[in-house]
Chain A
Amino acid sequence: MLPSYRRDDGTTHPPLLSPGYRSTVLRAPREQLVLLPHTLTEVTGPMLGEGRVRDSDADLTLAPGGEAQGQRIIVHGQVRDADGRPVPHTLVEVWQANAAGRYQHRWDQHHAPLDPHFTGVGRCLTDDSGHYRFVTIKPGAYPWGNHENAWRPAHIHFSLLGRAFTQRLVTQMYFPDDPLFAYDPIFNSVRDERARARLVSRFDLAATVDSWALGFRFDIVLCGTDGTPMEEPHDD
């Protein structure tokens, strides 16, 4: 029996055409999407990472030659599917701006300092119970020209392959209480307020290391299965 993955009900993911985010206007498809059945191609997917990830890839502050500048943070969480099951041994890839809000990318011309000791890229595999952990620095906000006085809230890009092609997810993790939330069309492209809140990490004192780094927790939930009960129902 092949697993079948639950389809998005249209309330979680942002609409492709979200004109407040200008770049969607010429890139979002206009034709109606065609329903793709979940055949073997869709319920399988790349399960990569072993041999591709070194332990040191999870610490973004340790570039060769010196330590990254900024506020050191620990970002951790659990990757689950919507049935609540952990997704173990799955590749988590992250990239981000430096503490001053600048990416180490030839196109980023923001007038903020580059940090020679911060490339802004990291990766790791989730453990047996779906947990991941990165050490990095808190990225800065940066201007992006989408509209007048447009600044992106501080965020870290996350990419997950999941277990199946259907579960592939790219998202952004934000930080609690960012004053820029109300003005950001990318964050607000997620229309449901509760769904939007799930993009925001929470401060985690238990993960904070005294005199060293602040902890933030960001749990990630990939789509779950549909119609294939994985355990006996129970009344409790």
Chain B
Amino acid sequence: MTTEFRSDYAGDAGFDGLTPSQTVGPYLSIGLPWPDGPSVVEEGTPGAIRIAGTVYDGTGAVVPDALIETWQADPDGGFAHPDDPRGRPTGFRGFGRCPTDDAGDWAILTLKPGIVPDREGRPQAPHLDVSVLARGLLHRVVTRIYFADEAEANAADPVLATVPPARRSTLLATPERDGYRFDIRLQGDDETVFFAL
């Protein structure tokens, strides 16, 4: 009956019971992408911006089997979520999900988020939280997208202030002709800043 890997952990509730993360593997595109995943807002929505980028590995090779997920406030800084105590439901989905293609490219269409306070009430610069999932990542890695054209707000942002100054630029989406570019370097020179949650 007994084996080395018993899973009869009844009564083991509590933090010890946390389920470990595992990689999405190379075939995540079977189960995770949605047809409307990259469209946080519909094409043609006033004020919509495209945030696009490429994912690179430690040799600079593109990563064609990653998934990018984004989570963000609406343009007024509110979240469609019961734990936002300011409760201003706007119907804004706030969630984007886009697999990379064969060239390692991804893009989402969204609205620029507004100001979100930190726990002390200090304003945070406009930002999106980002999860990167891929073969070879045993646990998602988390980063933030800030906007290079928000220099004043970025300079006062309490989270950016904790990032070594020389690395902050890896968190800035840079304006392009039709939106912003945010490349993700998993490893190596100019490695993107990743956060511990």
* B21, A170: Cβ atoms closer than 8 Å: yes
**Partner among A12, A165, A190 whose Cβ is within 8 Å of the Cβ of B71:** A165
Taking CB atoms and an 8 Å cut-off, the chain A residues in 1-28 that contact chain B are 2-3, 5-9, 12-16, 18, 21, 23-28
Interface range for A: 35 or more
Q: With A and B bound together, what is the CA distance between A177 and B129 in angstroms?
A: 39
Q: Which of A27, A28, A176 has the most CB of B within 10 A?
A: A27
Q: Known contacts A24-B136, A103-B30, A198-B9: does B118 contact A37 (CB below 8 Å)?
A: yes
Q: Known contacts A47-B81, A177-B3: does B13 contact A2 (CB below 8 Å)?
A: no
* A105, B32: Cβ atoms closer than 8 Å: no
Taking CB atoms and an 8 Å cut-off, the chain B residues in 116-136 that contact chain A are 116-119, 124, 127, 129, 131, 133-136
Q: Known contacts A36-B159, A41-B73: does B193 contact A27 (CB below 8 Å)?
A: no
Q: Report if A171 contacts B (CB, 8 A).
A: yes
Minimum C-beta distance from B134 to chain A (A) = 6
Taking CB atoms and an 8 Å cut-off, the chain B residues in 56-72 that contact chain A are 57-59, 61, 63, 65, 69, 71-72
* B21, A95: Cβ atoms closer than 8 Å: no
Interface string of B149-189 (1 = CB under 8 A from A): 00000000011001100010000000000000000001110
Q: Report if B23 contacts A (CB, 8 A).
A: yes
* Residues in chain B near residue A34, CB distance under 8 A: 162-163, 193-196
Minimum C-beta distance from A1 to chain B (A) = 8
State the total of A-B contacts with C-beta under 8 angstroms: 259
* B27, A107: Cβ atoms closer than 8 Å: yes
Interface residues of B (CB under 8 A from A): 3-9, 12-32, 34, 57-59, 61, 63, 65, 69, 71-73, 79-85, 93-95, 116-119, 124, 127, 129, 131, 133-142, 144, 158-159, 162-163, 167, 186-188, 191-197
A-B contacts besides A41-B116, A171-B21, 14 pairs, CB < 8 Å: A12-B18, A12-B19, A13-B139, A26-B57, A44-B84, A94-B31, A103-B27, A105-B26, A119-B30, A120-B30, A165-B131, A169-B21, A196-B5, A198-B20
